Every structure is written in C-alpha cells, then in structure tokens.
A and B are shown apart, each in its own frame.
Chain A
Amino acid sequence: MDLDAFKIAYEKWVAESLPDYRAGKMKEIIKKYPFIAPDDIPWTVYNGQPSNQTFALVTSGGLYLKDSQPPFDTESIHGDTSFREIPKTVRQQDIGIAHLHYDHSLTEQDMNIVFPIQRFVELENEGIIGKLTDVHYSFSYVNDAVSLVTDTVPKFISRIKAAGVDVLFLVPV
C-alpha cells in the first residue's frame, strides 16, 4: 500500500470535493474518492474453537455513549478517525448515533442491526463463544485514511491485543 501516493491523491480529492461535500452531493464525491487497493490479502489461518476464544465487536455505525462520550465529528470532509469504547452491558437507551451518511431510524429501534452486542452476550452465556471482551468499538464516517492508518489503527490494535482478542467481528454500515 503506497500511503504517500494516497496522501497526494487524497489532498487533491479534498480540495476538489469540498464544494460538493458541503452541498451534500455524496454520490458525486464518492465517485472521485481515491480508494486504496491493498497489495495483497492479509490472512491468518483459523485453527481455533470459538468456544474457547475471546471475541470483540467493531461497528462503523457512529455509535457512542450519549451521556458520557462526545459524538463523532460529522461536519468535516475528513470524517472522524477516532473511536469510542462501548461496554458489553450497553443498553439501547445509552446509545447516540453520530454519522450523517445512513438512515439511523432503524438502528435507533435496535442497535443490534449494526452492533449485535446483545446476541454476542447470549452466545457467551451459552458457551458457544468462550469470552466476550468487556469493551467493544465504534467508529464513524472516515475519509482520511492516512490518519486512520498511521494514528488510529496502531492505537486500536494495541487495545485489542491488550484485551486478548482472538476474533474481531466487523460490521460496517
């Protein structure tokens, strides 16, 4: 992955797309976005048994704890590269959503359609999975892949390694 080449293309894209972004023309700007193509597919052979492994959940639905965490930045064309830690005991009424680019109305009825934490808790209680970490992760809308890759991802990986995660389940929106 050539991050330096992406950075040049991304900065050009930001300059050219800002008027359309401010006008809400998302289909126009996404057509021009300089998506990074990975050089190859990362792969880890799976030899484990879910019943004795540790699981964590990641969503990009823009979920946050509305009484204790700041919402994501929904104004910037760069998006927001930070993430929020969501406890596995979270309830529907604890959740706020800061992500302008999908319809929240269904997620406000049932967070499990983008963050199926309650199903994972059930599977842990039944012993189908070994352990569900106490904390899970929510991201939001991101265009700035440079900051994501250089700043956020290393921090995120250190958290999931410290939590002993064997399997990470990703749900985009």
Chain B
Amino acid sequence: MGNAADRMAHIKPPRAMLVKFARGSMFGEPGNVKRQRRIILDALEALKTMTEPGTIQELPYRWKRPDPE
C-alpha cells in the first residue's frame, strides 16, 4: 500500500494500492471495519488482475465519506 503517488513512483513497488488517506491512517477512520475489509479484498483481487510490474491501483475511498457501492 501507499498514500504518496510521487514517493511510490520513485520507490517502484512491484504491485501496490494507492489510498488518499493521511500518514498513520492507511485504512481510513478508526473503527471502519467494513472499509478495512474491502481494502484487503481489493488487494486480494489485485493479486490476480495486476499483471504488469509496477502497477499501482488508486482506491476510491475518501476520508469520512461513504464508500462507493
């Protein structure tokens, strides 16, 4: 995972999910169990769908906003 696109472009992780959350809150607000689970399930899916080295997928979740259906 990562939250800084510029830093990730430099580090070049093999496969990664990008979130729009601040440092120390990579899974969003505390206690949002449903979102924490979704992000992990997104990552499990990405294991299968990411076929190119260096793929970074931005996730749609935003701080204190409802998650997309």
- Chain A residues engaging chain B, CB cutoff 8 angstroms: 35, 37-38, 40-46, 48, 50, 61, 101-104, 106-107, 109-110, 112-114, 116, 119-120, 122-123, 128-129, 167, 169-173
- Chain A contact residues: over half helix, strand or loop, or mixed? loop
Q: Are A38 and B11 in contact (CB under 8 A)?
A: yes
The answer, among B11, B26, B54, for a CB contact under 8 Å with A113, is B26
A173 pairs with B26, CB closer than 8 A = yes
Pull 22 A–B residue pairs with CB atoms less than 8 Å apart, ordered by A. A35-B10, A43-B14, A50-B44, A103-B24, A107-B25, A109-B30, A110-B30, A112-B27, A113-B29, A114-B24, A114-B25, A114-B26, A114-B27, A116-B27, A116-B39, A116-B40, A119-B37, A128-B44, A167-B47, A172-B2, A172-B26, A173-B23
Distance between Cα atoms of A145 and B54 in the complex (Å) = 21
Which residue on B lies nearest to A61, using beta carbons? B24
Q: Which residues of B contact A114 (CB under 8 A)?
A: 24-27
Any A CB within 8 A of the CB of B60: no
Complex Cα gap A43–B55 (Å): 11
What is the bound-complex CA distance between A103 and B31, given in angstroms?
17
The list of the 7 closest CB pairs from A to B, nearest first, reads A110-B30, A102-B24, A43-B53, A109-B30, A41-B53, A102-B23, A113-B27
CB-defined contacts of B54 to chain A, threshold 8 Å: 41
**B→A interface (CB under 8 Å):** 1-3, 10-14, 22-31, 33, 36-37, 39-41, 43-44, 47-48, 50-51, 53-54
* Chain B binding surface, main DSSP class: loop
Query: B31 and A109: CB pair below 8 A?
Result: yes
Q: What's the Cα separation between A4 and B4 when bound, in Å?
A: 27
| Most chain A Cβ neighbours within 10 Å, of B1, B40, B47 | B40
List 6 additional contacts besides A35-B10, A41-B54, A46-B48; criterion CB under 8 Å.
Answer: A61-B24, A102-B24, A109-B30, A112-B33, A114-B27, A123-B40
Chain A residues closer than 8 Å to B1, beta-carbon distance: 169-172
Whether A46 and B47, one on each chain, are in contact in the complex, defined by CB atoms closer than 8 angstroms, is yes
